[in-house]
Chains A and B, each alone.
Chain A
Amino acid sequence: MKKLGIGIDFGTTNSLASAWGSDVIRILEGQGTTPKPVVFWYKDNALGNRPHPSVVWFKPDDSVTVGFEARRNMQELSGTLGHCFVRSVKRSLATAEEWVHGGRKRKPFEVAAEVFAYLKRGGEKHPVLHGHEFNPCVVTVPVGFNGVQRREIRCAMSRAGLNLQSFVHEPFAAMVSHFYHPESKMAALRGKRVLVFDWGGGTLDICLVEGSQDGSTLYELAHDGIADRAGDDFDRRVMADLRGRFLVRNPALTENDIATKCRAQDRFWINAELGKIELSREDSVRIRVPAFLDDLPPIDLSETVKRYEFEAMIEHEVKAAMACTLRCLDQARLTPSSVDYVLLVGGTSLIPRVRSQIEEIFGAKVQVTAEPDAAIARGAAIVAAEEWKPVNAVTLGCEMARGEFFTLLERGEPLVASASKKFVFYCTDPRDGTANFIFCRRPIQGDKAVVPMGDILQVPVATLRPSNYRDLDRLLVRVAVTEDATVSVDVMHTGNGRTAAHEISDVSFGLKLT
């Protein structure tokens, strides 16, 4: 069985998988089409190619349905006995949330595994790629995901029977898809800097990528993001605004009536989302929800929303997104003029107000990804098929007494599970009872102070004043890259045997292209 690289864009709202490999090129060229990664779409008669909603439906007979069918039935059956619907499971990863169905508790990673298994089945049934093995697999994660969340994704993938090769940040994958060419690979990015602005349904992710001069590596110089202000949140704002207008038009009704009698919540949500998307092209849009209230006779909702009204609703978020973009540049001590390309990914980044603000900062360097829904999955599939290995993009270390920087993980070192490195540290001042490890990135020109990454690791030491240098506390430090692309630091006091551990998950990814 021939192998193909599979890339998975596991999204909060929608998910998508894509496959790429030499066989895809051969098959597509045989069919006379331009070779590019094959995407496993949901084909809707009315809407065309659509990504799969990340909705999981546990039925009374213990069977599970994922995707559009689950989302369609959520409206009618949500809350009824025996049916359990889980939406946006990605947000629940690494939380204590559980869903009880059929007397069994399901953890977020188990629900996520259903989404992965569904995407895998979709690929296996694909008419062009039937009979191929999907291995290895690359999955995309938001820039803000920590080690625990990545671990849950790995567990979910393993449960779904997928062999995870590596993680890659979502905007990074979209950039790979945009600049990749089957023959010249990523040659277009040699010595160039790209800022990727990925604002979709769930999160805003920004990353700044630099191609090395010799074209062998891509480095993520900086990344930043906002977790909970994105398209889904804007949909809810539009819905709240429409509900308010509906109540003004029907003064006899109250919020409580909407809560109890509205059986069209899902349809309302879809229409609000479609209306919002339409506002990127039109100055105003009419949003209609037939039989919005299940009354006698049923009451329809029909309101016109103007683009400037929508833009006023999201103005605060747009400003926050621009501040986040500038912060990302500042992390790498760069200015907008030192960026060669700006790439817009995700539906929210196409809102005219957002685009104009980005163009105001960066001028004419702004490009938009073709097929924004599929760019991330395609990029991940390319990384999987080319077997590009993840590397650490920014030197990580810790600050020592007297402010010096000590390197724990060099830029360019492989970001795959490896043998650990051992160091011996001395606590230079044990009088406060702890040895303080402050982890940070290598300071760059212009840094006034070290910016700590996460919490400070404190290891208990003897509090008594030592009478000799030799009595100073000695600490054995072990540094290793984990399977979840995090850096684990274990410290052991060689005298009292006390241990402490720390995990650096805010790692910048790079890709070794050779």
Chain B
Amino acid sequence: MPRIPNIAVKPNIWCELARTHTEDAPYFLQEIIPGDLLVEFLGTRDLRATRSQLTRDQHREFEQSRFFQPHGQKGLAYDQ
């Protein structure tokens, strides 16, 4: 059977001409960085706090990352 690659490297870079040269540029990344990493930055897993900070995509990413968390850590797979 022919082997078709089904994985791809995702781009993880961000640039915006109007904003990337300013001092507070990293803060504009809030909507772009993956949800699970953003939760690390926020320093809380409290859904009430994260709901207002994360976009819908970021929430999904956070939920997905919980499923794949390593054994022994708190995650959906571990909880079940």
User: Which chain A residues have a beta carbon within 8 Å of chain B's beta carbons?
Assistant: 398-403, 406, 423-432, 435-438, 456, 458, 465-470, 472, 475, 477
Contact = CB atoms under 8 A, between A and B. Distances in A.
A402 to B, nearest CB: 6
Interface stretch (B28-36, B46-54, B68-76): B28-36
A475 B14 CA distance: 10
Contact of B20 (A425, A431, A468): A425
Interface in B37-69: 37, 40-41, 57
**Which 3 A-B residue pairings sit nearest by Cβ, starting from the closest?**
A469-B26, A429-B12, A424-B20
Nearest to A426: B14
A402 B35 CA distance: 12
Given A426-B29, A428-B32, A399 B11 contact: yes
Contacts of B57: 402
B25 interface: yes
21 contacts: A398-B11, A400-B15, A401-B11, A401-B32, A402-B32, A424-B20, A424-B25, A425-B13, A425-B15, A428-B13, A428-B34, A428-B37, A429-B33, A429-B37, A430-B12, A431-B37, A435-B13, A436-B9, A437-B13, A468-B41, A469-B30
B12 A401 contact: yes
Contacts of B15: 400, 406, 423-426, 477
Interface string B13-29: 11101001100011101
B10 interface: yes
Given A465-B37, A468-B41, A427 B12 contact: yes
A65 B11 CA distance: 53
B11 A436 contact: yes
B12 A436 contact: yes
Contacts of B21: 424
Contacts of B13: 398, 400-401, 425-428, 435-437, 475
Q: Which of A430, A458, A469 is most buried by chain B, counting CB atoms within 10 A of its CB?
A: A469
Given A398-B11, A423-B17, A436-B11, A428 B40 contact: no
Nearest to A465: B40
A435 B30 contact: no
Contacts of A435: 12-13
Contacts of B10: 401, 436
B61 to A, nearest CB: 10
A6 B21 CA distance: 46
Nearest to B12: A429
A430 to B, nearest CB: 8
